[in-house]
Structure 1
Amino acid sequence: MSLAEQLGLKVLRKIDPEKAHSLALVALRAGLAPLPGPVTSPRLKTTFAGLEMPNPIGLAAGFDKNAEAIPQLSRSGFGFVEVGAATPRPQAGNDKPRLFRLTEDRAVINRFGFNNEGMEAIAARLKASMPSTGARAVPVGLNLGANKDSDDRATDFARVLEHCGNYVDFATVNVSSPNTERLRDLQGPEALQALLAGVLDARKGLDHAVPILLKIAPDLDPTEIAEIAEVAKTSGIDGVITTNTTLSRDGLKSAEKSEMGGLSGAPLFEKSTKVLAQLSNILRDDVPLIGVGGVSSALDAYTKIRAGASVVQLYSAMVYSGLSLAPKIAQGLDDLLKADGYDTVAEAVGSGRDAWL
């Protein structure tokens, strides 16, 4: 991490977390953050759900909710980027304050509630970010959401895909956020099958094949994980993101630990990796997985991959380690793969799964 980045993080941590988040995006768009370009090597190059990626380290949804900094994020060392969540209509989200740093735990609690400018504004930015010729150097995906006051939340996901799908490389059905009341009810097998069928039907009208991913919660028991696996295998989706934030507060030390919302960061690593390994053990090669939750180092990313993830995502760790964390993890992962004799990321997927079962 450069001295400038260290000083920037020190300043940002002294102000309100949500204001700091907004300022970080402003600085990024203004060119004040390191942009090394895609970090890659023959060992790091990988393919997920048909998408070619320079490395397997992705940015999770939530950092760039309104697709404001796609060009900059695509040059920041990530192998793929996910923006959003986007809902059909703009919505303000939950009341402030709604973002909390848990510094002692290297964690974050948020209860944003899908605050975003709506699919019209987000689609315009996604369209503007597309290169005039050829594919993007780094795949860009959109997290699909539903309006809090919608009469038919399942239909909302399909509507956003219909409107934005021509401008993205993949899309994620997010039924696992804990910050929209009763949203997680859509993870039940019957409701989920119907919802995904609607989204996959909407995909047929797009001008290119868009992989559809499902993002699940970490707070699932083995029976629920098995049900999710069955839906993943039979629905026709292209991958599962494992996992979203948790409602658990086990072992936290920070004063803000009792705040309502979803917990992310270091304390989520073990819980999310166990769910990842269990799901991977059932799905094997049928449906690929993205591992997310508590990734803050190359070893964390490598552990997720060995537990069954084909690629990984991170977000909360940047609150403490800055944007330069992405290329650092990618380069460190290359070294770890090399040290264990792997020529590709794919060779390592699932190699340490049993340790998490």
Structure 2
Amino acid sequence: MSVLERVGLALLRGVDPERAHGLAIRALQAGLAPAPGPITSDRLACRLAGLDLPNPLGLAAGFDKNAEALSGLARAGFGFVEVGAATPRPQPGNPRPRLFRLTEDRAAINRFGFNNEGMEAIAARLAQRPRGMVTGLNLGANKDSEDRAGDFATVLAHCGPHVDFATVNVSSPNTEKLRDLQGKDALAALLAGVMATRDGLDRGIPIFLKIAPDLDDQGLVDVADVARATGIDGIIATNTTLARDGLRSAHAGEAGGLSGRPVFDRATRVLARLSQLTGGDIPLIGVGGVEDAETAWQKIRAGASALQLYTALVYGGLGLVREILEGLDARLGEEGFASVAEAVGTGRDAWL
């Protein structure tokens, strides 16, 4: 991490977390953030659900909710970027405060509630996104919608022409009863509608499903069954958790989804189990506690074909992207792997 970035992070941690997040977005817009450009190598280059990526490390949804910082993010070194979540209509989300740093735990709790400017504003920005940048959109549902399942298809129909992939997000804990859509029958019906909408677009794009780390084993079995039956292109494991095991921070009792270091073990076990259940037939994207090259390596060995992070940036800054990728590249070489794909799932049994 550069001295400038270290100073910037220290200043941001001195202000309200949500305000700090807004300042980070503005810094990216102004070109003030680290911009190493594409980070790749023969070992890091990979393919995910038909998408050619320069490297396997992506930015998770939630950082750039409204697709406002795409130019800056295109230069930050990520292999792919996911924006959103987007809902059909704009909505303010839950009352503030709704974002909390758990510094002692290298974690965060949020209860944003899908605050965003709506699909029309987001689609307009996505239409102008930097070329060559693999960009996806997290699909959400309005809190007061009478047809939440239909909302996902509505956003996809409107924004799909401007993205490379889309993610069905039924795993946020911050919209009441949203996680009920992870039930087998409800999920199958929802995904059938989304896939039909995808098939109606001018070009096919991969559809991913983002799941919660709090599903029991039968829930994971159901997810794997539905994923196969509906033909989705990948599963993102996982979203934030409602668990609060072993936290030290004064904010540990805040309502919302927990992300960061404490989620790593739980999310990686879910990832490994899904890898076992799907037999490697459905690509998995590992997210939850990725903060250095070692945690990235463990996710890949547990079954992830690609990775995402977000909360670690609060503590390590965007310079972390280069650090993780250079470390991962070196580790692949040390272990005798010529590519990320060769290493996927090779350590899965240790997590089962």
TM-score by length of structure 2 reads 0.99
Give the aligned length. Answer: 352
2:268 aligned to 259, 270, 273, which one? 273
| CA displacement at 1:207 relative to structure 2 | 1.7
| Contact 2:86–2:137 (CA under 8 A) maintained in structure 1 | yes
Q: Which residue of 2 aligns with 1:219?
A: 214
Aligned match of 2:337: 342
Q: Which amino acid aligns with 2:41?
A: S
CA distance in 1, matches of 2:249, 2:126: 38
Offset of residue 334 of structure 1:
0.2
Counterpart Cα distance in 2 of 1:291 and 1:242: 5
* Per-residue Cα deviation, 1:310-338 (whole angstroms, up to 9, x for no partner): 00000000000001111211111000000
Alignment-derived partner of residue 314 in structure 2: 319
> Matched residues, percent identical?
67
- Letter of the structure 2 residue corresponding to residue 16 of structure 1: D
| Paired residue type of 1:264 | S
Q: Distance in 1 between matches of 2:192 and 2:263?
A: 30
* CA shift for structure 1 position 10: 0.3
Report the alpha carbon displacement of residue 261 of structure 1 after superposing the two structures with TM: 0.1
Secondary structure of 1:184 counterpart: helix
Structure 1 position 239, deviation (Å): 0.1
Q: Conserved in 2, the CA contact under 8 Å of 1:292 and 1:313?
A: yes
**Equivalent residue for 1:244, pick from 239, 242, 246:** 239
SS of 2:311 mapped into structure 1: coil
2:43 — aligned with what? 43
Alignment of 1:24-39 (within 5 A): 24-39=24-39
Match of 2:165 among 149, 166, 170: 170
TM-superposition CA deviations, 1:206-261 (whole Å, max 9, x none): 12111000000000111111111101111110000000000000000000000000
Tell me, what secondary structure is at the counterpart of 1:263? strand
How many angstroms apart in 1 are the aligned matches of 2:16 and 2:61?
A: 21
The corresponding residue for 1:262 is: 257
For the pair 1:208 / 2:200, whether they are aligned, the reply is no
Q: Deviations over 1:249-303 (max 9, x none)?
A: 0000000000000000000000000000001011022111000000000110110
CA distance in 2, matches of 1:40, 1:252: 36
CA–CA distance in 2 between the matches of 1:43 and 1:130?
Answer: 25
Does the Cα contact within 8 Å between 1:130 and 1:167 map onto a contact in 2? Answer: no
* Cα separation, 1, equivalents of 2:199 and 2:270: 31
Q: State yes or no: 1:119 paired with 2:114.
A: no
Q: Counterpart of 1:260 in 2: which secondary structure?
A: coil
Amino acid corresponding to residue 309 of structure 1 in structure 2 = A
Cα distance per residue 1:44-67 (max 9 Å; x no partner):
000000000000000000000000
Partner of 1:295: 290
Instruction: Name the TM-score, length of structure 1 as normaliser.
Output: 0.98
Deviation of 1:130 (Å):
4.9
RMSD of equivalent CA atoms: 0.6
Structure 2 residue identity aligned to 1:308? G
CA distance in 1, matches of 2:343, 2:308: 17
Aligned to 1:85: 85
Unaligned runs of 5+ in 1: none
Pick one of 332, 343, 351 that aligns with 2:346: 351
**Counterparts in 2 of 1:90-169, with a 5 A limit?**
90-131=90-131, 136=132, 138-169=133-164
